[in-house]
């Protein structure tokens, strides 16, 4: 079969682009551990408020490594807690799950953004550099009250943070 010279160039170019993209994806996935925040930790969505991993909803808690864990439950049509107070310049680990349908969690003006899928725990860690009021919105359509589902994060050096012992699963009780 005769393949035109220019056709041959583009075939090799297309092949090289695919290899390049797979290399980037592989390097970020395995080298830097970058993956969606809706990861593989599962939970019974009907028992969120009985689950020990969500026993501190509403109480930001400092882990032994200095990270502050914030547990959030999402349900139609609110975030629990509705207002979260954390200090600036600290690592804040959000651990969130849904008690009903799929919700979203985006902190306006930051890159903190995840889906909250029932049955799974979404987790990400971020740092708020500047004190202030941050609007939190649900960005997955979750029903008739979706547009009203919002909360607030107050970044304030005086925020009260509890202390907790570490547990085997990495969360706090
Ligand atoms: Cu929850 Cu939209």
pLDDT of amino acid 30: 87
pLDDT of amino acid 159: 85
Q: Strand 68-75 relative to strand 91-98: parallel, antiparallel, unpaired?
A: parallel
Q: Are 159 and 87 in contact (CB under 8 A)?
A: yes
- 109, with CB counted inside 10 A (0-12, 13-18, 19+), is exposed
- Token pair belonging to 37: 């925040």
pLDDT of amino acid 170: 52
Q: Which ligand 1 atom sits closest to the C-alpha of 101? A: 1
Task: Report the distance separating Cα 9 and Cα 1, nearest Å.
Answer: 16
Note the pTM of the prediction, 2 decimals: 0.76
pLDDT (tens digit, 9 = 90+) per residue, 33-83? Answer: 777 666 678 999 999 999 999 999 989 999 988 999 999 999 999 999 999
Distance 95 CA to ligand 1 centre (A): 17
Q: Whose CA is nearest to atom 1 of ligand 1?
A: 103
Q: Is the per-residue pLDDT at 161 higher than 80?
A: yes
Q: Which ligand 1 atom sits closest to the C-alpha of 74? A: 1
- Token pair belonging to 135: 């609007």
């Amino acid at each position: 079969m005769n393949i035109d010279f220019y056709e041959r160039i583009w075939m090799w170019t297309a092949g090289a682009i695919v290899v390049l993209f797979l290399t980037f994806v592989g390097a970020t996935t395995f080298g830097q551990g970058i993956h969606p925040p809706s990861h593989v930790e599962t939970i019974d969505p009907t028992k969120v408020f009985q689950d020990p991993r969500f026993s501190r909803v509403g109480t930001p808690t400092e882990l032994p490594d200095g990270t502050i864990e914030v547990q959030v439950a999402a349900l139609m049509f609110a975030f629990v807690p509705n207002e979260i107070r954390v200090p600036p310049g600290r690592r804040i680990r959000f651990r969130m799950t849904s008690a009903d349908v799929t919700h979203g969690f985006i902190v306006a003006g930051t890159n903190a953004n995840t889906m909250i899928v029932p049955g799974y725990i979404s987790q990400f860690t971020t740092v708020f550099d500047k004190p202030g009021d941050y609007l939190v919105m649900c960005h997955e359509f979750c029903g008739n009250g979706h547009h009203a589902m919002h909360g607030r994060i107050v970044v304030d050096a005086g925020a009260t943070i509890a202390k907790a012992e570490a547990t085997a699963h990495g969360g706090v009780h």
